[in-house]
Amino acid sequence: MNERKRPPVHLRTLGERLRYCRRQMGWTQEQLAVQAGTNQAVIQKIENGKSLRPRKIDQIAEVLEVNPAWLMFGDDKATPLTDDAREVAELWMSLSEFDRRRVLETIRQLAAKHQ
């Protein structure tokens, strides 16, 4: 989708945005899956709200011609994550809740020094 086809603002979830874009392209779930290098079950889970952080979101957004941040969060002003930020997010997911709180507090302290 390009800038000429502005999606409706009522699309509140990842699944709703994905379904809307897929239908705008005239594709079935299977066709989108093939284009994005995944399978139909993944697309179905996303559209049904059962997969909220899909691994292939960048590829899916690319073939749908939309910003990945808009597809995920409905925010078309957001910029894609840098490789470092993506690595931090992936590592974050492997931490325990206790360690996440410790890391978050450290990040907040460091950020406060730079404000």
Neighbour count for residue 99 (Cβ, 10 Å): 11
* Domains defined along the chain, listed by start: 14-73 (1.10.260.40), 83-113 (no CATH)
| Pairwise CA distance, residues 2 & 7, whole Å | 10
| Pairwise CA distance, residues 36 & 76, whole Å | 20
Model pTM score: 0.61
Residue 46 has pLDDT above 80, yes or no: yes
Residue 79 has pLDDT above 70, yes or no: no
**How far from each other are the two terminal CA atoms of the chain, in whole angstroms?**
38
Task: Look up residue 24 and give its amino acid.
Answer: Q
Q: What is the pLDDT of residue 3?
A: 42
Q: What is the pLDDT of residue 52?
A: 80
